[in-house]
Amino acid sequence: MSSLAIDDLSLSPFKNFAIFFSNHSFNLIVGTSGSGKTRLLKALAGLLKTQEKVRYNRTYIEKISFSKLQGKIGLVFPELLSSLSSFTVEDSLKNSLESFSYEKKEQEEKIKNMLSFINITGKRKKYIKDLSAFEQLKILFAVELIKEPEVLLLDEPLKKIVSKEEKKSFLKLLEHCYQKGLTIIMTSSSLEDTMLSSFTQLYILDHGNLILKGEPLEVLKKDSILNKLGLKIPFMVDLCVKLEYYKMVDEIILEEEKLIDKIWN
């Protein structure tokens, strides 16, 4: 079990706010700047005083020791990068394992496997400050994943990643972890990220209010609402919604070739 829930939270910008993330789910929360995305993740992580409004499984997080909570919930927040920048890749992973009772050989095996998983083996001795933005993101991710959490919270991890291929590559890592049983909650300011992986749930947040939730493609069909919120709908989704209106297609098709075949055949 690794569900997270918020009940009746009133903490700026939220008022009587409630949300539930089920066990073994791959969630994306999208909202513009000021929507409350980062504050929501901090509340879920136990970093804010919420007066028993946040539950990890069936227990309020205030009743769980901080050290135990850290072992269950991993945080990939860009602001944490500064605390790692002066360490090498190897040392950052070793430090992450300090609180665990691993033998030296077992620790080395875990580090070796993690570096292989994120495909950064050749830069083990490099300082994190000298890595690319994409490599730094993977290290932030690895530092938390190596502790084997049950839930992983990621605050706009793709914000500084320009390459679409790098974005897809990182999301493949997340998708692999989700398939292995990890519950993932990630935030973004762009609906385009929805198209890059197989998220199970999409949540639309605006100024502390949960506007929409559900399966990603169903949420993305609410084009009028999303447009009013200033969220740009992915091109293929927007096109299919318009074609549905004119009865040219009866579903959202994300691949261009398949869409063309559907229209002309």
The predicted-structure confidence for 204-239, as pLDDT tens digits, reads as follows 999 999 999 999 999 999 999 999 999 999 999 999
The answer to whether position 241 is within a domain reads no
Checking 169-174 for CB contacts under 8 A at 24+ apart, the result is: 169/134, 170/134, 170/137, 170/138, 170/141, 171/196, 171/197, 172/197, 173/117, 173/118, 173/138, 173/141, 174/26
Please count the structural domains in the chain: 1
Residue range 55-69: average pLDDT?
A: 87
3-class state of residue 174 by DSSP: helix
| CA atoms of 243 and 263, how far apart (whole Å) | 9
More confident residue, 71 or 4: 4
The first and second tokens of residue 216, run together, are: 């990603």
**What angle do the packed helices 104-117 and 133-145 form, to 10 degrees?**
140
What's the CATH number where 117 sits? 3.40.50.300
Q: What pLDDT shows up at residue 192?
A: 94
pLDDT greater than 60 at residue 178: yes
| CA atoms of 234 and 253, how far apart (whole Å) | 12
The answer to whether position 247 is within a domain reads no
Q: What pLDDT shows up at residue 253?
A: 86
Residue range 61-81: average pLDDT?
A: 87
Total residue length of the chain = 265
The answer to whether position 54 is within a domain reads yes
Q: What pLDDT shows up at residue 94?
A: 94
The predicted-structure confidence for 7-31, as pLDDT tens digits, reads as follows 999 999 999 999 999 999 999 999 9
Q: Are 255 and 224 a contacting pair, CB within 8 Å?
A: no
pLDDT band at residue 185 using 50, 70 and 90 as cut-offs: very high
The answer to whether position 239 is within a domain reads no
Q: What pLDDT shows up at residue 101?
A: 82
The answer to whether position 240 is within a domain reads no
The answer to whether position 257 is within a domain reads no
The first and second tokens of residue 69, run together, are: 């909570």
pLDDT greater than 70 at residue 1: no
Domain of 46 in residue numbering reads as: 4-233
Contacts for 17 with CB less than 8 Å, ≥ 6 apart:
6, 8, 9, 10, 208, 209, 210
pLDDT band at residue 170 using 50, 70 and 90 as cut-offs: very high
pLDDT greater than 90 at residue 241: no
The answer to whether position 243 is within a domain reads no
Residue range 48-52: average pLDDT?
A: 90
The answer to whether position 245 is within a domain reads no
